[in-house]
Amino acid sequence: MRINKKMKNKVSKIGVLTSGGDSPGMNAAIRAVVRTGLYHGLEVFGIMKGYQGMIENDIVKMESRSVANIIQRGGTILKSARCKEFLEYEGRKKAYNHLKEKGIDGLVVIGGDGSFRGADTFSKEFDIPCIGLAGTIDKDINGTDFTIGFDTAVNTAIEAIDKIRDTMDAHDRVFIIEVMGRDAGYIALHSGIATGAETILIPERKTNIDSIVNSLLEKERRKKLVNLIVVAEGHESGGANKIQEALSAKLPNAETRVCILGHIQRGGSPTCIDRVIASRMGFHAVECLITGRYNVFVGIQNNRMNYIPLHDAVKEKGKISEEWLRIVKILAS
């Protein structure tokens, strides 16, 4: 176990916050942090609206009943926000002073790589140990097989696409479904494979519109008139509407429709997987603070806990392997 020798004082009061985009399962993680902390005799504080709440001193003490009946709820009871002021040293100093006033000497940050970057900087400047939990539907954090919210978001997308397929079949249409994923294509990849999409477009891979046109023409020759295209919002094409424009120009007789799923992917009751991994990660986050394993991101790989230094976790995004891309190519043919 890597013990941080610089931060020698034992943690006695911890804060937990959710930062950046919300994701289903964040409440389960909050619940686990609070109840594990209380079990070990720590005082636990909830920081509202992420780093913004640290700066505004919007910090509340939490008890076991504070997190009762929340494990099944989407969103986050602590709210979330993106805070520009925290990017500046003066903002971080203000946040630190508020933590110091309450005696908070450890933090659990639930969010994505931007949240981890802020936690890493904050910890180095003010000697506050921080633990990161990956709360993001994008699953783009390196070092973990799961991120809190991804499974729920994918299942939401799958449910919507399955329903859209019914109307596609009834009218022999080409449907272009846009899912979330500004920088990462995991939601598009998984939901596309699970719904039998003929084409999956992700930011990690360049796709020429002409190749899509040729594929549709080839399928038309085989009398396959129903075609599903799943595209991540961050694909170089510019999203579903841009793809429809390009296809309509080259295939004027094709009946194309667009559906942008948008923020419904962020909401809803978390799946069993998201509730369990969030609970497991939250439990181990507190265990890290108690045992002196500081400034790490807590992930799960091969069903085992995986601990990566925060500064390493934000250096490299999770990458989609060539195996996945081969599966897409072969199964969509």
Question: Residue 294 in contact with residue 288, Cβ under 8 Å?
Answer: yes
Q: How many CB atoms lie within 10 A of CB 173?
A: 18
Nearest by Cα to 300 from 273, 328, 326: 273
13-149+270-313 and 152-266: identical CATH topology? yes
Domain ranges of the chain: 13-149+270-313, 152-266
How far apart CA 131 and CA 293 sit, in angstroms, is 9
**pLDDT tens per residue across span 6-40:** 445 689 999 999 998 999 999 999 999 999 999 99
Residue tagged active-site, from 105, 113, 120, 138: 138
CA atoms of 151 and 157, how far apart (whole Å): 10
pLDDT of amino acid 6: 47
Cβ within 8 Å of residue 260, ≥6 positions away = 177, 178, 233, 239, 240, 241
CATH architecture of 152-266: 3-Layer(aba) Sandwich (3.40)
φ, ψ at 107 (rounded to 5°): -130, 140
Task: Please name every residue paired with 199 in a beta bridge, in sequence order, or none if there are none.
Answer: 229
The count of residues in the chain is 333
Residue 23, helix vs strand vs coil: coil
Pick from 122, 141, 28: nearest CA to 78: 28
313 neighbors 147 (Cβ within 8 angstroms): no
**146 three-state secondary structure:** coil
Q: What is the pLDDT along the chain (333 residues), one digit of tens a residue?
A: 344 444 456 899 999 999 989 999 999 999 999 999 999 999 999 999 999 999 999 999 999 999 999 999 999 999 998 889 999 999 999 999 999 999 999 999 999 888 999 999 999 999 999 999 999 999 988 889 999 999 999 999 999 999 998 888 777 778 999 999 988 899 999 999 999 998 899 988 888 788 888 777 776 666 666 789 999 999 988 889 999 988 888 887 778 889 999 999 999 999 999 999 999 999 999 999 999 999 999 999 999 999 999 888 776 666 777 888 788 778 766
138 catalytic per annotation: yes
Cβ atoms 279, 31 nearer than 8 A: yes
Other CB atoms closer than 10 Å to residue 36's CB: what's the count? Answer: 22
Q: pTM for the complete prediction?
A: 0.91
CATH architecture of the domain with residue range 13-149+270-313? 3-Layer(aba) Sandwich (3.40)
- The pLDDT score that the predictor gives to residue 222 is 66
Map tokens 């009061």 to a residue: 13
